[in-house]
Each structure stands twice: as C-alpha cells, then as structure tokens.
Structure 1
Amino acid sequence: MPTSKLNPSTGISAGQASPAGSPLEVLRIFLKLGLTCFGGPIAHIGYFRDEFVVRRKWIDEHAYADLVALCQFLPGPASSQVGFSIGLTRAGYPGALAAWTGFTLPSAAILVLFAYGAGALGGPVGAGLLHGLKLTAVAIVAQAVWGMARNLCPDRERASIAVVAALIILFSTASIAQIGAIVLGGLAGLWLCRSDAQASSGHVEMPVSRTAGFVTLGIFFVLLAGLPALQALTGSTGIALFDAFYRSGALVFGGGHVVLPLLREAFVTPGWLTDDAFLAGYGAAQAVPGPLFTFAAYLGAVVSPEPHGVAGAVLGLVGIFLPGILVLLGALPFWDSFRKRAGAQAMMRGVNAAVVGVLGAALYNPVWTTTVHSPRDFGIALVGFVLLVAWRAPPLVVVAFSAAAGTAMALI
C-alpha cells in the first residue's frame, strides 16, 4: 500500500502523489459507518470523530474541528461533506467517491425498499428496536461533546464562547441561528483567543487545485441558475425533478433537517406526491442509519412524474448531494492558506469552541428531547455513554446494546 508523510500538526496526509490509503479501504470503513451511524448529522460527526480521530488517527482533533467548522459554514449535508473530505485526504478523488458511496448507499437502499412497501417495522417490538437505535445517538453525541469540549474549550474564554453559542441555538428558532453562532464565535475568537496563537508549520493537503476549485464553484452557480431555464425551454419532467432536488440541496444551511420544508415545498405543493406519503418517508428516514439527505432516494422513487422508481431515486441522490460537494470542492483549496494565518488561527479557536456549543445544544434539542422520555431511556443512553467513554467500546457494540435494550423495554 502506498504511504505518505503525515503532518504531525494536522494529522492529515500531505503529498498528492502518494495517498495514505486506498479507495477500497475507505469504502469498507464508510460502508460500516453507513450501516451503523444512527441519529442524524450531529451524531454522525460524533461517529466520525470516534472512528477517524480517536481510533484510526487519520486526522487530529483540531484539524477535524476545523473541517467540521468549514462544512457547517457551507450549504449541504455537513456530515456527508466531512466524510467526503476525509475520503479525499485519505485516497484522493476515488477515496472521496468511495466515502460518499459507502456512507450513503445503505440508507438509500433501505428507503427505496420502503418506497416499494418492503420497509417499515410494526408492532411494539419494531417500535422498541427503532427507539433503542435512536438512543444510541444520545450516547454518541454526548461522547462527542465531552471529548471535543476537553480538547477545544480548555480555558474560560473558549468555554464562554461555547456556552454563548449553545444559548443562541437553544433560544432561537431561526434556521440561520447555527451559522450566526459560528460567525459570532469566530469574531469572539479574534478578540479573545490571540494570546496563545502558534505558528503553523504544516498544511492540510487536499488534492484539489485552485483552478479546480474555481471550476466547481462555477458549475455550482451555472446549475443553480441554468436548470430552471433549461426546464422552461425543454419542458422535461426529469430536469424539473433534478432542479427540485438540486435547489433544495443548494439552499440548506444549518443541518439536514432544514431540507425537509424545502423538499415539501418542492414536491408536495406541485402535487407530485401526497402529504401523507411525504411524512411516511420522513418517518422512515428518521429510523435508518446514514445521512438524512437519502430521503431524496425515497422521494425520487415515489414521485408521480417520470422518472421514478430506481431511476428517480438515483436522480434524487445525485441532485441533492451534488451542490454541497461542488461548494466543498470550491472551498477546500483555499482553506489551508486561510487557516495558517495568525488571525485565522485565533478565529478558528473561537469557531471550534462555538461548534462545541452547537453540538451541546443539539445534544439537548433535538437529540435528547425527541429520544429520552423516561428513566429507562436515560439508563440505556447512560450505559451507552459509559461503554464509549470508559470502556472505549466500538460504536457497533453500543448500537447492538441499545437496540437490544430498546426491544426488551418494549416487551416489559
């Protein structure tokens, strides 16, 4: 297997010509994550941190937090963008595609089966199993908040930034509150976090040239403006569907759940499917692992205009994920030179602290409030947290325990 020199300050491989891993390795690991990552984008960030920062050490804590902060700024599904970037640094463009495929395919396949009527679990046993799987997310997110807070909020200034960011999220109902909290965290970092600035001797090597970055940003805007015009000229229902998915994915800021009202407006309002069918698919999307954006596979399979079925599911997946990937590729070539500046380092300390606050707020709402309803639920989540933090058990063990405990509780 080819090797490359690892930058000790970032934990990310430096050297385009000699990637640290293979696409097959990346596919295998992300396929496992795609089968076990329950709980939505915030939980996924916790799973990724445990897998790539703690266990495999492909990337260090600060570089990972910087990457999460970047993806939180950009439109699109943050957890999928983080996974795509990790695959890119590990094995180049084939590794990025392998990461996206492995993480996306399991939940997309399950939701397509659900669209054909072969999906949902019923009865108390099924409900208990699904609830136990959701309790896994409580333990995963709590572990992520605990670990990131210890590393990224070691002083009173950054701890205060994290608390303020959490309060902004908890007391605001605006969809842009998350972005606002991160922006304010960066500004506070410029003011409060300059004293411990350090020179950055290394860099985060991304196999994306600046020319490629400009090209992908150009493609993003051309598709955003050109697809509606092309559909008006051709009258193609396929282009109309692709535009609906693409526009929804391009305008999402603040997490995967924000895409749902956009998709409802794009598909229910014109009469392409009923509200009941939309909500049924949304419920199924909550119960499967992997990114919430795979809800597009269900929508593409059940919409009334053609193409639908498997072809529509593929169209939906490509359409909804493509804008976030294009924007990410456009930003990555400029991210390294930005983050090496002293002022940028201070700002990123504030941003990283704000990300901890955002994760902490998300641990309460929606993860805790929608999942922990009784002392039994709290007990299952607590055991999962101890397994992860104290016993350093793999997430798959916690998934299995929570699923079994949730099923048992439903039968008592």
Structure 2
Amino acid sequence: MSEQTREPGPSDTRRVVVAGAGMAGVQTAVALREQGFTGTVTLIGAEPHQPYDRPPLSKAVLLGKAEDSAFDVDFEDLGIELRLGCEVLGLRPADRVLDTEAGPVPYDVLVVATGAEPVRLLGTEGVPGVHLLRTLDDAARLRPLLARRHDVVVVGAGWIGAEFATAARGAGCAVTVVEAAARPLAQALPAEVTAPMTAWYADAGVVLRTGTRVRSAEPGAVLLDDGTRLPAGAVVVGIGARPATGWLTGSRIALGAQGEVVADRHLRTSAPQVYAVGDCASFPSARYGERLLVHHWDNALQGPRTVAANILRERTGEAPAVYDPVPYFWSEQFGRFVQYAGHHADADRTVWRGDPAGPAWTVCWLRGTRLVALLAVGRPRDLAQGRRLIEAGASMDPDLLADPARPLKSATA
C-alpha cells in the first residue's frame, strides 16, 4: 500500500464493484483503499491472467524480455476481491445488478472500466496468421513469430502500428506497414507534424505504403487493393480501438457517438451510483470546451483517483471532485521517445522548437497566446515544463518559444 494511504474512516458497508481489470479498473480499486474506503471492493476481469499493464506488450513482453507485466499490487493485502476469467454480460441499473457469465453480482456502487477493444479488419476474421495486439495472449502468440524473423505486414500506421513495426524490426523481421490514409497518424496529428515522422520508417528499414488498403488476407500473404501481393508470415492489425461497451446495450446507460459511456465532469454516468473511467468513457473538459475521449494510459491512471474520491465524498457531503486533466501520452518508435500533452484541436498557431529533420524537436500549439498542446520528440524537459504551463493556462511569447535553446518555461509572455 502506498505512502498516501489514509487511515480508515468510519465504517462503510457499501459494495463497490469494478467492471474491468485493466489499468483503470485496478487503479480505481487501489485508490479506494488508499483514500480510506472500508467497504467491499470487487474487481472483475474478463481475462484469466493476474491484472497487467498493457504498454509493455508492444515492447518488453513482445520481444521476450519479460514474461508478463503484472501490476505490483497485493490485492489480498488491500482487501480487494479478484474475480478473473469472468466476462461482464449486462447491467440492470434499476436493480443495481451486474450480470456476468458467472452469475449476477449485486452492487451499491459500480465503476465501468472495461476499456477499449481493437477494431478488426473486415474480411480477415479467422484467417490464420492475422493477429491483433491488445492482450497478453496476443503478445504470446506473436513473440515466436518475431523470433523466427518472419516477413511481417502491419496494417495501420498509427501509434500501435509504429510501435509494433519498431519491435518487429528490432527482432530482425522484414516489415511492411500498409496505411489507408495518405500519411501516418492521419487521425491524430496535422500533416505538417507527421511529415518528418514519415521518414522514420525508411530510416529504420521499414517499407511504408500509404494510400493503400488491404483487400484480403490469406495464409502467408496479404492482397492489397492495387493488386499487390505481399508475403506475410504474420499480419498485425492496428487500425484503432473502440470503447468496449457492447455489453451495456439495453442498460439505458447513455452512450456517445463512438460507443463510449457519456460521463459528466465528476465521471458519473446517466445511471445512479454508476461511474465510468478510462478508455471506455468520455468526459466534458472545461479546459478545452469540448467532450474528450482519451484512449491513453495516463487517463486510465488519473481518472480512477477522481472516481475513488467521489465515491467517498458521497458519504462525507464534500463537493465532488472535477476531472479535467491535461491529456498525456507517449510512444517509443524507431529509436525515438515521442510525448504529447494537451489537445490541439482548437489551436490557431503552431510554433516549432528545433529542426524536425533532427533527432530532437518540439512542436507547440497555441490558442491566441495560450499554450494548449505540445508534442516533444527526444525533448522530455520540454514536455514536463509544457504540461505544467498548459495546466496553468500560461500565455507564451511565440518568438521566445521558438528558440530551442531557451527553457520552455522561460518563454512565457
């Protein structure tokens, strides 16, 4: 238990059930205990494995440098009941019952933390040699294929596609990445930012084919829509993820356009005593003036603290905590450490720090003079300082900001 653990407060007999045993679910359960919750906490996960962290799957676990990435949490010591290998099937909010394949589970408070599931490539379901990379079992199936240095085709040049291509090249595989859009990361970043990143593929010996779709897959090969047939000992699909909320159909929990649970600024759902956190939930951001759906690790780490605090505050009468973070994520690809903080959709000015053709540079987005987002490549200090400046709503001097030799924090207006 962490040093932040509080002394237990007055006895609380409520039953908190957490649906989902990934980062968001585990951190919710742990945060409840750290903040002094004394009722029962039950954590339900669909996979049979001890709860684990996902980012290492595309790195250490995939390359055989680690067997797993289990969380270093003593669930028994914390008094958290684990029910693993138990899929959630439905929800009856009026009865306060969670339906699972092992039977109904009553709750007083429910936290929906079922995360996201990978989007599958149409026409490839059940084809031998076509893989996803989302679970520990996925990584276990892919690891021997990389060790045998098969030709690998990666479908999708997003974050997960680039990370897997990096790992496959590191294992000595011949790698081709096929992307339907005209450039990598087309849905995540502007063209001017992804332009220098495109060269990373060739530098790493990866063939990148943009503006190309996969027509079909067969054992040992992929057929593209232009008629090209690519040899493929393994095909890895990384074309995005969607909230894993299909099980909520018919529950009357409000869902958004992408299937996510629509949470309020306290991470409460439309149903009484039901919260939602992590990849499966969107929340309104006063900071950015829009609803955000964040599919990244840091959101699954930070949100649970707000959920736990608000569950406890229901009994203390304190005002509920508001969740409005500066989104953050990182990616390791082609020998580069890429970090992003903020949300650039409403930016009206871009400022570069450093040469994007070089090994280290940063791009900053401003709304007026206010820093709203930045992406740092090999400049972790820029990221750390920039994230704090975004949180503070700081105004920046664009001319000072453009000087890569100047600490970012000294470029305030």
TM-score above 0.5 = no
TM-score normalised to structure 1 length: 0.28
TM-score normalised to structure 2 length: 0.28
Greater radius of gyration (CA): 2
Structure richer in helix, relative to its length: 1
Structure richer in strand, relative to its length: 2
